[in-house]
Structure 1
Amino acid sequence: FRPRRLLSLSSVSKMGGCLSTIEEQLLGTSDPANANANANAGGVVVVTGAGRLPSPVYRNIPDGAEKHPVRNVYDGDTLTLVNEKRVRFLGIDTPELKEKQPFAEEAKAYTRERCHKKDIWISYEPGHDREDHYGRLLAWVWVPAEDGDGYLCVNEGIVQAGLATVYIPKQSEKFRTFHKMIKMQAGARESKRGMWESWEDYAVVKTANGSAFHVRGCRHLANIKNLTDMKASEALEEGLHPCRTCLADK
């Protein structure tokens, strides 16, 4: 999944967690799972074709969140704590720096500005593994909101800025705010923010139980039957993510 690079780093620096030039904030509660309910309970939201879009800013961080100083930000969705533990942001995927994918630098800049050499809070998803097979912590990352009122969930903020896609390795591993983040992703796509600025829809296929979508001919589809044809936009709205093999350069 490789959109063309049209956004400058200076533009990204303006896309704060509050996204003040793009939309007003809705302050939620300390529980991300209640974010959509909070949108109906009051506060300011932006209304687009994607519907009512809640904010990535919450009044409080979740109970039990751990405070840690950050040593280094590796890329848009990975950082290292001072205690040497590496954190992989839960629920998102950003462009790869190693492969020099478009918007990889912008995604890193977004996270670096908010986390590098600063204190952050991390929280875990109930019922999910706390580490991946590389030993990285799988976590929600929290920092104070730019205006000092509440806390930004960086995982959500970078999706809203158009610099990350929603990601789950398996459909059975959906997190509590999955549908909220899908709305944020749709809002970024419709508003042409970040990597979506020059994005155009295209034909893809999905398997019966997979969590990714593909183009026909992908090697991962060899000998797989019962493929479903659809548009990439439809696949994204279902919460599927682009195949890292056949759509790496799309």
Structure 2
Amino acid sequence: MIVRLFSLLFLTLFSFSLFASCPHVGWDQTVTLKEINDGDTVTLENGRLVRFIGINTPEINHRHKSRSEPYALEAKELLQRYIRAGDKLHLVFDKSKTDKYGRLLAYVYSKTGRNLALLQLQSGLAAHWVIGKNDRFWQCFQTAEKQARLRRKGIWSDFKPLAAANLKESDKGYVYISGRVSDLKEERGALRFKLDRKLEVIIHPSQLKVFKKNNVNFLLHDKLLLTGKLFFTRGQAKLTLYHPAQILP
């Protein structure tokens, strides 16, 4: 049966100004910068690595910089314009303070209070990611990413999502997919639907609570732009949604 989850996600998202900034918050910790590793990672004076929450910038090939991913060096250079070795940085933590590699996870601010992850998103040099439960600023981050995408800045300059109706196994991996909702139903507390009757999308019961909390609504025939890790099971294209941030406005 068709499942309604209260009001539309998109009404919530569009309530933000086109140029919205993230809420001002107090610092949890002030530290000293030793080195900028890349566009989303820095090293502190004490040797600790800090990974920026909420974004992913292109990867730098440190051995052969010419082989780095497009815009990777630009993302690092952007940080270099705002912070330098010896500067004080302000950290704000979320629900998880470390990752599986032992790195600190934080929203990182320059000594003047500039949100550096937000800066990368606004400049089109980072994609917005929600990993785990760290989603404190997901809505303002998503708004910033959307504006960069619409202006085709940086990594979005040649953005072209995959069409759900034309997916093939070679497309698997972290991708962006567009299509219309079909076959919408709830089973055993999970929400399942398809895009263009080709891509099977599932929201498991534990994650469905997050969508309800954020007032997400799915309707048959709605056109969606989704992001996540595409995989195939016995030829069936599948995508799991675990957070509303995977639905791009």
TM-score normalised by structure 2 residue count? 0.59
Quick check: 1:92 aligned with 2:52? no
Deviation per CA, 1:123-164: give whole Å up to 9, x if none.
101xx110001000000101144xxxxx21111111111000
Quick check: 1:112 aligned with 2:80? yes
Query: How far apart in 1 are the matches of 2:134 and 2:43?
Result: 25
Hey, which of these two has a bigger chunk of strand by percent?
Answer: 2
Runs of at least 5 residues in structure 1 that lack an aligned partner in the other structure: 1-35, 41-49, 146-150, 229-234, 242-250
Q: 1:182 aligns with which of 142, 148, 151?
A: 142
> Structure 1 residues 190, 64: closer, same or farther in 2, change over 3 A?
closer
Aligned counterpart, 2:228: 213
TM-score normalised by structure 1 residue count? 0.59
Runs of at least 5 residues in structure 2 that lack an aligned partner in the other structure: 1-11, 62-66, 164-176, 178-198, 205-225
Quick check: 1:141 aligned with 2:108? yes
Question: Any conservation in 2 of the 1:71–1:80 contact (CA below 8 Å)?
Answer: yes
Query: How far apart in 2 are the matches of 1:224 and 1:201?
Result: 20
Q: 1:152 aligns with which of 106, 110, 114?
A: 114
Query: How far apart in 2 are the matches of 1:206 and 1:194?
Result: 31
> Structure 1 residues 224, 185: closer, same or farther in 2, change over 3 A?
farther
Q: 1:121 aligns with which of 90, 94, 102?
A: 90
Dislocated runs of 4+, deviation >6 Å: none
Query: How far apart in 2 are the matches of 1:83 and 1:177?
Result: 27
Q: 1:72 aligns with which of 35, 42, 51?
A: 35
Q: Could you say what the CA RMSD is over the residues aligned between the two structures, in angstroms? A: 3.2
1:166-245 to structure 2, matched below 5 A, reads: 166-170=128-132, 173=133, 175-203=135-163, 204=177, 205=199, 207-209=201-203, 212-214=227-229, 220-223=231-234, 227=238, 239-240=245-246
Quick check: 1:162 aligned with 2:124? yes
Query: How far apart in 2 are the matches of 1:168 and 1:202?
Result: 21
Question: Any conservation in 2 of the 1:123–1:140 contact (CA below 8 Å)?
Answer: yes
Matched residues, number: 172
Query: How far apart in 2 are the matches of 1:224 and 1:91?
Result: 32
Question: Any conservation in 2 of the 1:206–1:213 contact (CA below 8 Å)?
Answer: no
User: Shift in Å at residue 226 of structure 1?
Assistant: 7.2
Report the secondary structure of 2:81's partner residue: helix
